[in-house]
Structure 1
Amino acid sequence: MSVPRSSIGFSPETAAALSQADRGIRSRMGNHHALFDYWRFAMSTLCTVNAFYVGFYREGRKIVYPYTFDDTLHTEKYIWPEVFPYGPKGQAAWILQHRRPYVYSFDNGLLLRHGVAFGDEKRMSADAVTIPVYETPEAGSSVIGLASIQAYKPHTYTDEHVRAFEWTARSVATVLSREREDALNRAELATPDPASESERLSVADVVQDVSDRLRALHRDICRVEEALPGDRPDLAALVTSLRHRCEQTQTETMDIIARPSVHAETLLKSLSSKEREIALLIAHGGMTNREIAAQVFVTESTIKGHVSRILRKLGVEQRSGIAAKLSQFTE
């Protein structure tokens, strides 16, 4: 007997679950720990999710993982947010290149095993789906991250599960895009500080230091939680609440360096469409004026004029400064 399908290609049960997931995801704007936690929960209503993570690409071939979950032996385990480099042969590079989901059955998990292990490292995932996360929900948008669901049981995920995961990712992209737009609107009211971008590395150092302190705090809270007497449910509830707040704060702290630079986006938007095209060619490939002129079909003198305006708008004096200002758009 065939299963009736909705007009968007999902079974009625899945379509109803996705509708609920969309409402839940959109209601968690501004709280990324709650957003990713609910995304994981929403997928778990459709299929088995023993492990789940969300990561965002950053410059220098690195990925920030603000949220990672592992259900080890049916005991939820909080995994600390981390920043990891990625190589040319792993999932991260594959997703960035192919812009489509990676499924375990493609290569029997070979690509999956090239990545960094997390959670219960003694147990290997037997099925997985990893999808790109786009800057906006529109087709053709830039890939800014990836998300993965994994299971210890083989043949867990169907084609419908893959499409459902992609569908929820578009809801998440909508939330992230709206947050970015709000941040850009607020940035227009403030006086730009060119020095702020040069301090980005030191900010990352501070974030890592705070993250380490939160890790120690979380460890102590867990010890208190384990030592509580069984006849004090009020204290147990309070300590559990403190642990959850610590976990949420850790995600939000790491998210500071996971979010794309609003200042860089503001600078890019200050350029005309032709100037943006030329600026990115300079930033990405270090192309000369003659090479750019040949690619965009204008004269070299026209390119020189564009470059002069780009330098002025970005507040730099040399072409290398263009690459430095727009580095997040060239990875």
Structure 2
Amino acid sequence: MGTVLPETVRGALRLADRQLRLLAPDDVNEMCAVVRRAATAIAPVETFYVGLYQGDNTLVLPYIFSAGEHLSADTSRFGRGGMSHWIRANAKPYRYAYDDGRRCHAGAPMGDGVLSRDVVAVPMFGPDEATVIGMVNTQSPRPDVFDDTFVIALEWLAQALALSLDDGARSSTRERLYRDFPELDRNRLDFPIDMLHTATDCLDEVARSVDTLRSRAALLEVAELRQELGRIKDQCRLVGTELAMMALKTPPSHDREYPETLTTREREIADLIARESMTNAMIGRRLYISEKTVKAHVSNILRKLGIRQRSELVWFLGEKATDHHHRHGADTSNSPTAPRISRGTRPQPS
């Protein structure tokens, strides 16, 4: 797709992917809840439902959530003028702006009946990637809250949900989730900083489990409490195992190269930051460009590498940076005012 997702969006999608992988094949309710929580973390979703097509004109709704409440599962019949028919016929996302919500409002209202002012509904595809088997629908009473990034993220979540619902495809075809966004595959992390983000997500899950147990502990029998503690213990072991396997699959630092999206000038500036600990002003003097231009290049570098601050460039280069320091030191004497930086010194965030 060529789209660079913001870190907050990537984090929400990675967490959803991990949670879907861990769920039992028959836990449909929690699968849908995982997708809803991820979508809500990206944009203010008020109404959310998952619909699965049955026959020519029936939509089975196993999961409906609106205005902070879970609603009972339901079925709905649809005609040719509605959104459900349009999505299956066109096999692409529906957005409120396409027709000012006409197709959405033509169907049966969901939740509290308040008319939605923004809607995104995306198709779910079967294993052949062509047959539309259902949809994920998100709505808000506020206008213009779902942007292009949200649509892309919801399409990805719908695909992840479809694969999870099809138990036979959970492993064999899950790789297709990562064709357009390989950075979302936890089994192929390219940067140590990605492992840090993943570890934080895992520990947050454990912390939530502990908080939930604390709130319920007084109501549990001793045997139930032991069972819950055992489950959290197993969860901790699983986190340790998962992180160990990710460490095994993460490429060694000396094998990592800059992506092709970085220009020659951006690679040059990245090297000066990571290997010589140069500030923007020092880089400007070295390359005979303005500090403002350097700052713009640095912003592009961080965005393209998916990192948040310049100090992380050291961890991107890893052994390349330290090997350079070992062979050459960090002597920046070619720069008129650049101080000599001792080996191992890390650049400070800009």
TM-score (norm 2): 0.47
Q: Which has the higher contact order (CA 8 A, sep 6+)?
A: 1
With normalisation by structure 1, the TM-score equals 0.49
Larger Rg: 2
